[in-house]
Amino acid sequence: MFGSVVQRQKWLMQREGLPRAEAYDKARKEFYDVRHTQDIERRVAKEEAEFVGAFWGKSAMQVGMQLEDHNHEDWREWALKEIVALKQLQGNVYTGLENEESVPELGDPATEEAMDELENVPATRKGQEALGDAVVHP
């Protein structure tokens, strides 16, 4: 019928001499009536087509929801793997053993060298006393 509510409002103001607010209200109501009529026509046309055997694929909304569900499941699997990895890492932190290679051996030259360096560390630092032996990983 007409392209824009604002264009129709301008036409009503120029041709019919309506004030701005009244012209806008009239144009808006006309637009809603036209849209309502078109929606009814589309709905009836769709029902008639389905009655004679038309088949409609998924709507854009259904396709979007399906893609979103798929991505959500992928994210969920990734998140579960990350949680398991973090829990394993936390368990390793508490034991102090991340893997077999990080365990210091007394016969290892690198371990002996690190132990010699520890002998030179003072027992107190900035007023703090050392309360126990520390194992240093090379």
CA distances from 19 to 24, 31, 66 (A): 9, 18, 49
Quick check: 92 pLDDT over 50? yes
Range(s) of the domain holding residue 6:
1-56
Does residue 110 belong to any structural domain of this protein?
yes
Phi, psi of 126 (to 5 degrees): 50, 45
Instruction: Kindly state whether residues 67 and 21 are assigned to the same domain.
Output: no
Measured CA angle at 45 (ends 44, 51), to 5 deg: 90
Does residue 128 belong to any structural domain of this protein?
no
User: Is there a contact between 18 and 26 (Cβ–Cβ < 8 Å)?
Assistant: yes
Instruction: Kindly state whether residues 112 and 67 are assigned to the same domain.
Output: yes
Does residue 135 belong to any structural domain of this protein?
no
Q: Encode pLDDT of 7-57 as tens digits.
A: 999 999 999 999 999 999 999 999 999 999 999 999 999 999 999 999 888
Does residue 98 belong to any structural domain of this protein?
yes
User: Is there a contact between 112 and 118 (Cβ–Cβ < 8 Å)?
Assistant: no
Q: Encode pLDDT of 57-82 as tens digits.
A: 888 999 999 999 999 999 998 888 88
Instruction: Kindly state whether residues 61 and 112 are assigned to the same domain.
Output: yes
Quick check: 5 pLDDT over 70? yes
End-to-end CA distance of the chain: 82
CB atoms within 10 A of CB 26: 16
CB atoms within 10 A of CB 90: 9
Give the pLDDT band of residue 108 (cuts 50, 70, 90). low
Instruction: Kindly state whether residues 80 and 37 are assigned to the same domain.
Output: no
CA torsion 77→78→81→86, rounded to 10°?
-140
Instruction: Kindly state whether residues 1 and 42 are assigned to the same domain.
Output: yes
Does residue 63 belong to any structural domain of this protein?
yes
Instruction: Kindly state whether residues 64 and 14 are assigned to the same domain.
Output: no
How many domains does the chain fold into? 2
Instruction: Kindly state whether residues 31 and 11 are assigned to the same domain.
Output: yes
User: Is there a contact between 125 and 90 (Cβ–Cβ < 8 Å)?
Assistant: no
